[in-house]
Amino acid sequence: MSFPGSFTRTELIEATGLSGPTVGFLTSHLTARGLTRNLGTAPSRGGRRPALMEFNARHGFVAGIDLGPTRTRLAIADLRGERLAHRIMSTPTHLAPTAALRKMADAVRELMADTGVPADRLLSVVAGAPGVVDLDRGIVVLAPNLSGWSAVPMQECLEQALGAPAFVENDVNVALLGEHWKGAARGHQTCAFLFVGTGIGAAVLIDGKLHRGHHYMAGEIAVMCMAPEYVAVSYGTHGCLETLAGLHALAARWPEAEGDPEAWLPRLFDAARSGSKRAQRAIDETATLLGIAAVNVGTVVDPSILLLGGALFANAAPLVGQVREIVQRISRAPIEIRLAALGKEAPLTGCLLLAATAACDRLREQVRTGAIQSRRKFAAAMDGTRA
């Protein structure tokens, strides 16, 4: 019997158009490197039973880090991006950024040790950061909800601490990639994600690719101006979308909002259902602002679907319906509004996808270089034999 993801040399020849000897050489080379492994033989098709093999997804491993203002999620995965272990830790906000990153790296190493992953088998690390990220330099330009996080060399710090190539991406961007891979955006090549928690952000996928913008600022709708009266009155601390519709703004509208939002958000909606006008007004004002923001994003991008996610929607699903009603009322083109499927795990899922992709790209280049060198040595040896 065959196994999911398995293949034979004949199938490789048919898929690639390469000759039998070339495929034989390459598969032997891959098996010797541990990138493929033999599974025995497949059923005969009338001749000799073909050898069955598969990609060895545990030839190497990757790590994902979803840095949040209060909690940080970590995971170790194989080369297909499938999780082997994960952990949630409190974000060490009491430490300077570089010290906090070292503490996160220590937690990744502990998770690797617990999972039995050798340090030299970690091939790639991807971190999602809640702010503006300079992808070329791997720097967190600004993370407004993390004190002191300005011009932080996150990529360099993680590479030094973990000894593996690291990449840094905006957290909402990786959340959308996670939803596109395994969540509510599957099958949608042009889509958007509105993420509301302590901060607010958006991500946009156009024709299957992230749109980051010239300054890596695409989707930074937290600073979107919501009305002309805010332009001249301390804009940025009072008049932008995040200060008007984020979790802190919603909490300020309802006096009983204390402690963890996971506790007070359900109480807020219970109060509204019980007839509290103040609770209902707080919800309505927030829904209206988020609905306007969703329409603005939808008007510019024209996505086939727009997802709502983040801590606010994860703990207040009824809010999705109200935002949807506002979008339907004021949007010229129909926009499908849907709750994100992966919840708080979306950014980490996207991190693991990017990490696995980067690791496989690296291995592919190493294999290509190694195969060329091996063929040259083989050819030289054959020439020497003939001589």
Question: Does residue 59 have a pLDDT over 80?
Answer: yes
For the chain, residues classed under CATH 1.10.10.10 are 1-56
Which CATH code is given to the segment(s) 186-340?
3.30.420.40
Written as one letter, the residue type at 54 is: E
On the 0-12 / 13-18 / 19+ scale of CB atoms within 10 A, 97 is buried
As a whole number, the mean pLDDT across the chain is 89
Summarised one tens digit per residue, pLDDT across range 219-266 is 999 988 887 887 776 655 667 899 899 999 999 999 999 888 888 999
Question: In 70-188, which ranges are continuous DSSP H helix?
Answer: 97-115, 154-162, 171-182
Residue 129 pLDDT grade (very low, low, confident, very high; cuts 50, 70, 90): very high
* Nearest-10 crossing angle of helices 261-273, 277-301: 110
**pTM of this structure:** 0.86
Measured between alpha carbons, how far is 354 from 313 in angstroms, rounded to an integer? 25
Kindly state the average pLDDT of the residues 1-15.
68
Question: Does residue 359 have a pLDDT over 60?
Answer: yes
- Which span out of 292-296, 365-369, 375-379 was modeled with the highest average pLDDT? 292-296
- Token duo for residue 7: 């293949």
Lowest mean per-residue pLDDT among 6-10, 94-98, 199-203: 6-10
DSSP for 42-72 reads PPPSSSSPPEEEEE-TTSSEEEEEEE-SSEE
Measured between alpha carbons, how far is 177 from 169 in angstroms, rounded to an integer? 11
Question: Does residue 379 have a pLDDT over 60?
Answer: no
Question: Does residue 385 have a pLDDT over 90?
Answer: no
SS3 40: strand
Residue 2 pLDDT grade (very low, low, confident, very high; cuts 50, 70, 90): very low
* Nearest-10 crossing angle of helices 346-386, 171-182: 80
Kindly state the average pLDDT of the residues 103-110.
98
Q: How far is CA 80 from CA 17, 117, 350, 357, 362, in A?
A: 25, 15, 12, 8, 14
Q: Would you tell me which CATH number, out of the four given (3.65.10.10, 1.10.10.10, 3.30.930.10, 3.40.640.10), belongs to the domain 1-56?
A: 1.10.10.10
Question: Does residue 340 have a pLDDT over 80?
Answer: yes
Contact present, 298 and 335 (Cβ < 8 Å): yes
Question: Does residue 3 have a pLDDT over 50?
Answer: no
Lowest mean per-residue pLDDT among 53-62, 298-307, 328-337, 362-371: 362-371
What's the confidence (pLDDT) of residue 371? 57
Task: Note the CATH architecture for domain 61-174.
Answer: 2-Layer Sandwich (3.30)
Summarised one tens digit per residue, pLDDT across range 163-195 is 999 999 999 999 999 999 999 999 999 999 999
Of the two residues 344 and 230, the one the predictor is more confident about is 344
On the 0-12 / 13-18 / 19+ scale of CB atoms within 10 A, 345 is buried
Q: How many residues are listed for the chain in this entry?
A: 387
Dihedral sign for Cα atoms in the order 196, 223, 137, 94: negative
For the chain, residues classed under CATH 3.30.420.40 are 61-174, 186-340
Question: Does residue 339 have a pLDDT over 80?
Answer: yes
